[in-house]
Structure 1
Amino acid sequence: MLQRPGGEVASRPLHFIWILDCSGSMAAQGKMAALNNAIREAIPHMQKAAAENANAKMLVRAVRFSTGADWHIKDPMPIEQFVWSDLTADGVTDMGKAFRLVTEQLKVPPMPERALPPVLVLASDGQATDDYKTALQELMSEEWGKKAVRMAIAIGKDADLRMLQDFIGHAELQPLLANNPESLVRQIRWASTVAIRVASSPKPEEEKNLLHHGDALDDQDDHKDHDVSPPDDDLVW
Structure 2
Amino acid sequence: MSDIPGGPMANRPVHFIWLLDCSYSMQGEKIARLNYAIREAIPEMRSVAHDNPAAQLLLRTITFSTTAQWHHPTPVAVDDFTWQDVEVDGMTNLGEAFTLVSRELQSPPMPQRALKPVLALVSDGVPTDDWKAGLKAIDATPWGRKAVRVAIAIGADADRSVLQEFLGNPEMQPLDANSPKQLAAAIRWASTAAVKAASQQMAGSADSAVQQPYAPPVLDDDDDDDVW
Q: Same fold (TM over 0.5)?
A: yes
User: Could you tell me how far 1:206 is from its partner in structure 2?
Assistant: 9.6
Distance 1:206 1:19 in 2: 20
User: Could you tell me how far 1:235 is from its partner in structure 2?
Assistant: 6.1
Partner of 1:231: 220
Distance 2:53 2:211 in 1: 17
Partner of 2:63: 64
Provide the alpha-carbon RMSD of the alignment. 2.0
Percent identity between matched residues is 51
Contact 1:12 1:116 in 2 (8 A): yes
With normalisation by structure 1, the TM-score equals 0.87
Distance 1:118 1:18 in 2: 11
User: Could you tell me how far 1:105 is from its partner in structure 2?
Assistant: 0.8
User: Could you tell me how far 1:207 is from its partner in structure 2?
Assistant: 7.8
User: Could you tell me how far 1:192 is from its partner in structure 2?
Assistant: 1.1
SS of equivalent to 2:52: coil
Please say if 1:11 is aligned against 2:11.
Answer: yes
Cα deviation, 1:117-172, whole Å, max 9, x if unaligned, reads: 00000000000000000110111000000000011000011000000001100000
User: Could you tell me how far 1:90 is from its partner in structure 2?
Assistant: 1.8
Cα deviation, 1:164-209, whole Å, max 9, x if unaligned, reads: 0011000000000111111111100101100000001134779834
Between Structure 1 and Structure 2, which shows a larger proportion of helix residues?
1
How many residues are matched?
219
Q: How does 1:84-103 map to 2 (within 5 A)?
A: 84-103=83-102
* Distance change >3 Å, CA 8–CA 207, structure 1 → 2: farther
Q: How does 1:194-213 map to 2 (within 5 A)?
A: 194-203=193-202, 208-212=212-216
Distance 1:117 1:185 in 2: 25
Cα deviation, 1:75-124, whole Å, max 9, x if unaligned, reads: 00000011101111120000000001111111111111111000000000
Contact 2:155 2:177 in 1 (8 A): yes
User: Could you tell me how far 1:7 is from its partner in structure 2?
Assistant: 4.0
Please say if 1:40 is aligned against 2:39.
Answer: yes
Distance 2:86 2:104 in 1: 21
Contact 2:151 2:163 in 1 (8 A): yes
Distance 1:36 1:202 in 2: 29
SS of equivalent to 1:9: coil
Distance 1:46 1:80 in 2: 9
Partner of 1:170: 169
Gaps of 5+ in 2: none
Q: How does 1:60-209 map to 2 (within 5 A)?
A: 60-203=59-202, 208-209=212-213
Q: How does 1:45-56 map to 2 (within 5 A)?
A: 45-56=44-55
Distance 2:23 2:210 in 1: 36
Partner of 1:20: 20
Q: Provide runs of 4+ in structure 1 moved above 6 Å.
A: 204-207
Residue type of the partner of 2:227? V
Contact 2:102 2:144 in 1 (8 A): yes
Residue type of the partner of 1:82? F
User: Could you tell me how far 1:230 is from its partner in structure 2?
Assistant: 1.6
Q: How does 1:211-222 map to 2 (within 5 A)?
A: 211-212=215-216, 214=217
Residue type of the partner of 1:89? V
